[in-house]
Every structure is written in structure tokens, then in C-alpha cells.
A and B are shown apart, each in its own frame.
Chain A
Amino acid sequence: MTTSASGTDTLPAPLAESATAPAETELRTGSVGISVPRREDRRLLQGQGEFADDVWMHRQGYAQFVRSPHGHARIVSLDPRPALALEGVYAVLTGEEAKEMCQVPFFQIAPEPASRIEEYPLAVDKVRYHGDAVAVVLAETREIARDAADLVDVQYEPLPAVLDTVGAADPDAPLLHEQVGTNVAWHGNYDWGDIDWALENADHVVELDRLHFHRFSSTPLECNAAVVHWDQGTDTIRVSSNNQMPMFASMVVGPTIGVASNRLMFSSQDIGGAFGIKIGSYPQIAALALLSRKAGRPAKWTEYRTEHMLSAGHGNERVFLDTKVAVMKDGTILGFKTRAFDDAGAYLHYEPLGAVIWSQVCCGCYRLKHIQVDYTETMTNKCPTVPNRGYSRLQHLWLIERIVDVVAHELGFDPVELRKRNYVGPDDYPYETPNGCVYDSGDLPRSLDMALELLDAEGWRARQRELEHGSGKRIGIGIGSTLDSGTNNFGQARIINPDLPFSGNGEAAYVKLDLYGEVTVNLGTTPQGQSHETTAAQVVADVLGMPPDQVHVTAGFNQQQNTYVAFSGTYASQFAVTGLGAAKGAAEKLRAEIVEIGAFALGAQPGEIEVRDGACIVAGDEERMIPFIGIANMIYANNAVLPGELRDRISLNCRHVYVPPFEVPDPESKTGNLTLTYASQIHACVVELDEHTGEVAILDYVAVDDCGTRINPKIVEGQVHGATMLGIGAALYEAFEYDDEGQLQQASFYDYHAITALDAPHVKTGEIESPSPFTPNGAKGMGEGGGAPLHAICSAIQDALGPKDAIVSDSHNPWERVWRLIHSGERGEPRGVRVSGGSAAAGDSGR
């Protein structure tokens, strides 16, 4: 069911991990680029993985949070005694107690005045969203903990809820955080080029009144979970969790609970999906640490699905008002201006970083020169947002694709030709955007051609024309062009707050030769299905001239044994660059050490030594060789045979930190190189709309991916499939909505319709490889996917609508919304778009 536009070499899959085939010639020349079978599979297929809830500790209790049923309310009283009276309850930690145990509130990324937010591990005085935690119970069993949480007596006085991100900025709106004095978390004006000039000199100006990007989440199938043990004996805190960015969590939690970072020990092995959402579990981890300290027992927490939906974190919702687009007669789009309002929810968890991260892709796939975005992020009585697959860029990329699509439809341009006219061209790379980002490589027009060919767009156009008026059906063809920017420059945080001491990026890896010459790799990353064990083995194996199945990559992350930097973790499409860059660098250091020892042992010069098949061999004299076990022996157990100079310097334990070549961006002009790589995805699809019901059926779907050099094509393709289906789910089915009191309407998988195998369409994939000139191996980060299905499906629905119908202005298009769109023309509803300067190509170059 999957079509690959170009051939992919797939190795036959050896199933037993121990089956180490003799090194074949093709393995010697390298495994990168080959779909080496995944080494993670064997344990996961047999239920032998170790996920966060699989960890038990001696004397542990089960934790259950007590959560607010209100969107916004004052806590009048909180009485834990009825819960404590229940047999089997070990302890209850309240918000007040937690605050007293803390040194400081959680660190805020935001500048003044939002930096005055006082957030502690549990809510104090007030609850600010449906699901806000006010206390946490520890008990002997899960069931008792759940009962006890119900018994905690909390009296609330409801307050008016703030639910609209635009209205939240109103000075008269009720305040979430009184000490801040406003609900605005961050405001700034991004202004590159000269949009006023462009709008004055454009042949046409297209105005879009209001576009809304909806709230949803990738809802990893494994909820958050942790066992936290404040070990009084060693005064260390063991955090066995599925947090995906543990160093960030450590840096936020440590100062708050008054613990040095070298006493806060994070670990994880297998993580059941994360998608960014599991960056946001640090407040719960802090609460569990305090609970463990209070109870003198490890606190084990398994988040319930409803709890996850309510409080684990949602993706950002964003509204774009009064968008004005400057277009020339020939279809050149000069640029646009808009007012963006982003809804961060009740607390700032990782926000307001989203208020700058979108600008990594300020012009999308296009050569737009003049861009002005007046950006406001507000706090509302909703679940806090956290990074969610495509974080902050997909909202903006969706805006740009809506702009391009609406311009095509309103001015009568062919949507394909209009895109090609404005795309960054294959010869434009490295392409500098108006805000100083550098697009590394790509071929967007060829990707689009490939997508349209795989789709048979011409055939579908013919069927669209043949479809009889009055059939009750309409066909639409849509395109989604998107970028997956990867390897952040954390210096962009200074555009949000110039005082933040962050810049650059990096990842660490260790590669060592073990006691008997085995090769071991450990990484600073926290994989959640991205196959790091497999791909790191490929990269290291190639450097050391051995088959990848002879390289052992330790599973998961453990702060006490793995190496790391503050950026360590797995997020934001970067492993192929940072993680594999670190593994490659460490392997190269190890190789150099092996060669030195080998040369000494064989009485040769280092330049004469070849490293292959687990040995050092003198080139041209195969008899003179020493296997890795001999090399390891000399360092670990036999070092008196070595000259002092060698044994003092060489350890066969090599650490490397990959650091991308970034500079600090300029907060004043809001410019700089914010991201190292730009993978692209071009999606194309065909939808059929039912005029009577509004049902959207996907008749055909294509995704063409270009992420530079593919380390393991099958793994890349799997990520493309996954990102595609989550995007389709978000476009048609998945949404988090609140009622007027701030009650979440979709708090389980009954109401939140996660896409299923029955909903999922066939997906054809194609690939182009435009290696990145900026990365160690030509690869680009990928996996987030840039939300292309949201763009493509909105585009296809737009294409099926008539010229008098309203434009597609929402990223979520369930049946009822589509029905309204289909009938908006005949009902005389506002279209949400205006064109000044006359109709351009006047329809004759149209579809």
C-alpha cells in the first residue's frame, strides 16, 4: 500500500540479535543509507520493554492527584483529613504545604511582567484550569489512592473563566495571575522588509479576516508516569520517568525544590511516544518528589488518560486577525502582515518560546520578502500548552499555506503554478530568509511534481470536472507545502527575553571499547520510537568498520551513567544531526585511539593501519593484525606493556559533544540563524465532500519527504507515515474544546477521536534526498512533519468549494463545519476574505 518513488535498499532482516553475520562486503562499505532492521523490536514485540510504569521501587506508594473540576476558581478551603482517615493512605501533600517546601517558584522564561507568575508544583489559593492539581495523595494501592483523592475536601468559589485568546488580552478581562497585571504572556512586533511599501505597491491586496488554528495534542499512547524517590540515605532524588527533556526538567525542578542538579537523577528506558507533550511533566515530577520526601517512600504515579487529556499539555491554539497579503499581477507574493494571538493556557510551561519558534519558518517555503507579525501570547483558563509535534511552526506554516491557497482561489491563479512561482528555487540554496535564517537545501518544485504525479492530479482534475452538478458530491484537490525545521539555536530564546543565558545547541555521546574489545555507545537522548539504538549503531559501525549488529547501544537514558549537555533529550527534529553527530564524533575519537594502540602493537605507523572487522590491520600485510580484544587488553588490564605517553593519554572511552555552528541572534531586529536544517514535505490529496452531511472522505493521499541523507530509509518512512496520520487526525477529527465555564469537552478517547485504522487513508510516499551541507552526515532532523496534512486537507476542501462560499478559515474541519462551508454561499454568510486592486489573472489562467 506504500509506493516508494525511488528504490530503497532493504537488508534481509536477521531476526535473532545474536545472529552476527560475517561482515559482508556491502556492510564494510557502510550501513548508513540502508534499512538496517531495528534492534529495539525484539524486546518490544515480546513485552520486554521497560516503560515508566514498569518500574517499581521497594516500599513505593501509589500517587493520585486531586484536580480542579472548575476552569477558574478560588480555593476556599482544602481539608485532607477525610482522605488521611482512610486505611492505607500514607500521606497527602497540599498546595500550601508544597509551596512551603519549595525554595522558589518555577523559573519563568518570560520577561516582565509575566515573569512574576508564581507557579508551584501544586496550585495555591486559586485553580486556573479544569484539571489544575491542588493536592496529591500517596497510598498503599492504586485503588485506595483513587478513593482517597476523592475524599480530599476542597471547597471552591468559581470565578469567571477567560477562554478566548484575543479577549484575554483585553485590559478588562478577568486576570489569571493577578500579580502579573495582565493576561498577556508576551507581546512583540516582528517586522522584516517593508510590508507597508509592499501593500502600497502591490497590484492586489488580499485580506483575510480571521483564521483559527485549533487546539489538539498528539496524545502519546503511554500517558505520563514516574516513580520518584527522595532517598534520604544518599540525599539524592531518583526520577524514573518518561520525561523527554530531562535536563530542562532538572534545571526547572532543582532550584524550586532546593536540590542541586547532581542530586536529581533522571532515567528512562522505553518511552511510549511523546511528541513534545512529555516535556511538560516537570510540575508533576516536582510534586512527587516533595510527596516522597514527606511520606518517606517512593511515589509512583501512572497518569490516567482523562488526567492526561485534562492536564498533560495541549498544542498551541492560534488566531490570525486582519491578515493582508501583497500580490503582484504575475502571481509574485511580496509578503503579508497579520496579528497573531496565541493561547498558552493557564501557566507558561516552556512558553513563551513558541512566540519566537514559529519565526524559524517565517516565510514558509516561499521567497516572501516583507513580513510583519504583531504577536501576542495570552494566558487563558485552559490546560497549559507544551510543545506538540510541529511545535509553533505548524500553526504559522498553516497560515502561509492558507494565504497562498486563498490568493490562488481569489485571484484565479492555478494553485500549483502559484506555488512554483513563489517557492524557494533549487538554485537558491543556501537561502537566507528575511529574518536571517538559512535554508540549507531542497528541491520544492520537484517534490511538488513528484507528489502530483503520484497522486495522478491530472486524472483527478478530469474526474472533478466530470462530476455532475447535483450529484451531492464534490471533489477537491489540495496541496500542503511545509518545512520541518530542526536543530534549534536556543539563542532565539533571547528574542523573547534578552536576559536569558541560552544559546546554541548540542548533544553528547560516549563511545568506548569495553573490557573484551566490545563497542558500547551511550547517548544523551531519550528516544520514544525514533530508533536511536539502531541508527546510532549504524553510524558508529561505519566509522569503526564493522557491522552495526556488533555495536551495542545502551537502551534509554540514565543520568548516572550517560553523558549529557543541558540540551539533551529527544525533541524538535534534531537527533539525526545532533545525536548522530555526537555518536560519529565520539566514534572517530575512539577510532583514532584504537589506531594508535594498534600501530604500537604492530610496530607500524598509524597511517598504515586499517580498522575493519573488529581489528587493526597493517595495510597490504594482512598477517600483521591485532583484534579489538587485544587493544582493550593493553589499556584495561595490561598497561605496563605500553609506553607511559600512550597509557596516560588513551582511555578508549571517548566523549564527544556535537555543537552546531550558531551565533547569538539579535533580539533587537529579531533576526539570526535560528535553525540548522530544513527538511521539507510536500503533501497532495484528494477529498470528496458530501453536500448533505459535510462528510470529508480522503480519496487519495501522497506525502513526498526530503530530509537530506536518509540514515535508515525505512525508519524515515515510518516517521513520515506517523506524522501524516496524526496530521490527518487533527485536520478532521481531533480537537480540544472548552465550554463557557472552562470545562474540557474531550477528556477521554470516547470524545477525543484519535484517528483509527478505519479512518486512516492509504498513503503513498515519495522521497527526494537533498543532503544538508551543514551537518556531519548530510542528514536533516525530521519526524515532526510540519503539519502538512492540515495544510493539504484545508487546501483540498477549499478547492471543492464554490467562489461564493466562505474560505476555509479553521484548521479543524469536522462534518458540521464543512457542511456550513458548503452552504455558506447560498446562505449569504460572510466569506471572510476581500480583494482590492481587481481580479488578477482574471480567471483565465485558473483551474
Chain B
Amino acid sequence: MAEPDVVHSIEFTLNGERHEATVSSRQLLVFFIRDVLGLKGTHIGCDTGSCGACSVIVDGKLIKSCMMLAPQADGTEIETVEGIAQNGELSVVQRAFHEEHGLQCGYCTPGLVMAATFLLRRNPDPTEEEIRRAIRGNICRCTGYVNIINSIQRAAGADSREAA
């Protein structure tokens, strides 16, 4: 049986902007982001934390937003795919996906952009094995992962070139 809904007031930072909201105690973060905040780049692929289409970065950590409740976002800093490009300029990771044809239908892509961004922040020069491990929780049914791995390798290379 359904329990009466409890409502929470939360404050959080989304892609650098402060927000306040009241959220239902049982609303998943992914639905809060999509249905309430209206950001449609975070996708729903499985609702069991298996596919990674809803990956976002919360307080610097890569998480699956279907595995977190919206009230738990109180006091956090959330980054979604909409915050990755700056002033219309694609990030190194996004550019690399474009150049290496690392996306087809584009549904898994925002989650993979977040996973790759998270990986390269922690490990700017990952091995192929480290890349595969970093995206093992992101399912892609179009690319066979080949060009996704190429994209992340390219982004890593570009990063080190830009840093040099």
C-alpha cells in the first residue's frame, strides 16, 4: 500500500547554480532532474543501476541517479551533461567522442560523457584496461564500445597535450 508522501526542502548546486526545491521523499534523483528541473540529458535506461544512462557527478563522485533519492541531494553539488560544455564549446571528452564516432543513437552518450569526464579527472592517462573498467557500468548497444574506448583514449591524449 502506498504511504502518504513526505515532502522535503532541499538546497543544492546544479551545474554551478544554487537551487532550492521541495521534493517528494520517494522521488528518484533521475526523475527530479528530468521531470522537475527539466534537464533531459540524463537518461533512463534500466532503473536498476545497471546501465549508466543516468550517470551524473555528485560531490565529485560518479553516481547513477536512479540509485539515489532526490532528498539525498540536499547540500550537494550536482553536475549533469548539460554542464559539461562551456559557453557552447564542447569539452575535450565531447570533442573526442565526435571525432572518433563514439556515439550512434546517443542515448547512452550523456552517461558515458560523465563517466569519461570523471575518469580523466582522477586519472588523466588511463590504460585501455582502466578505461574499460571505468565504463563497465555503462551499457551501449550501438557502438560495441570500440569507438567509445578510442574516444576516451583520444581525450586523454588531447588532455596531456593541452596540459603540456
Contacts and interface: CB of A to CB of B under 8 A. Distances in A.
Contact of A302 (B44, B139, B149): B44
Given A42-B98, A748-B46, A754 B139 contact: yes
A726 B144 contact: yes
Given A41-B97, A45-B103, A529 B39 contact: no
Nearest to A754: B139
B144 A760 contact: yes
Nearest to A531: B104
B40 A37 contact: no
A99 B48 CA distance: 34
Interface in B2-61: 2, 5, 24, 26-27, 31, 34-35, 39-48, 50-51, 53
Interface residues of A, number: 67
Contacts of A46: 41, 81-82, 84-85, 90, 94
Contacts of B46: 305, 748-749
Given A143-B26, A147-B2, A44 B106 contact: yes
Contacts of B42: 47
Contacts of B109: 44-45
Interface string A513-526: 00000000000000
Nearest to B107: A272
Contacts of A760: 132, 144-146
B126 to A, nearest CB: 12
Interface in B144-164: 144-150
B106 A272 contact: yes
B98 A13 contact: yes
Contact of A721 (B1, B135, B144): B144
A715 B142 CA distance: 11
A724 B142 CA distance: 10
Given A2-B150, A273-B107, A721-B146, A15 B98 contact: yes
Interface of A is mostly: loop
A534 to B, nearest CB: 10
A529 B132 contact: no
Given A2-B150, A45-B109, A221-B108, A304 B145 contact: no
Contacts of A43: 106
B79 to A, nearest CB: 12
Given A147-B2, A221-B51, A45 B107 contact: no
A758 interface: yes
A767 to B, nearest CB: 15
Interface in A261-282: 270-273, 275
B107 A48 contact: no
A247 B82 CA distance: 34
A45 B141 contact: no
A467 interface: no
A749 B50 contact: yes
Contact of B105 (A45, A151, A528): A528
Given A302-B44, A758-B136, A748 B81 contact: no
A530 interface: yes
Interface in B104-128: 104-110, 113, 128
A33 interface: no
A758 B135 CA distance: 8
A40 interface: yes
A756 B45 contact: no
A758 B141 contact: no
A42 B44 CA distance: 20
Nearest to A2: B146
B90 A15 contact: yes
B140 A221 contact: yes
A221 B82 contact: no
Contacts of A35: 101
A305 B47 contact: yes
- Highest count of chain A CB atoms <10 Å: which of B24, B85, B131, B146: B146
A54 B146 contact: no
A714 interface: yes
A1 B135 CA distance: 17
A749 B51 contact: yes
Interface in A727-783: 748-750, 754, 756-758, 760, 763
A724 to B, nearest CB: 6
Given A53-B44, A54-B40, A529-B106, A757 B31 contact: no
Interface in A705-731: 714-715, 717-719, 721-726
A45 B106 CA distance: 7
7 residue pairs, one from A and one from B, having the closest CB atoms: A47-B41, A272-B107, A44-B106, A725-B144, A529-B105, A529-B104, A749-B50
Given A51-B107, A719-B104, 12 more contacts: A1-B149, A1-B150, A38-B101, A45-B106, A46-B41, A270-B105, A272-B108, A718-B142, A749-B51, A750-B48, A757-B138, A763-B146
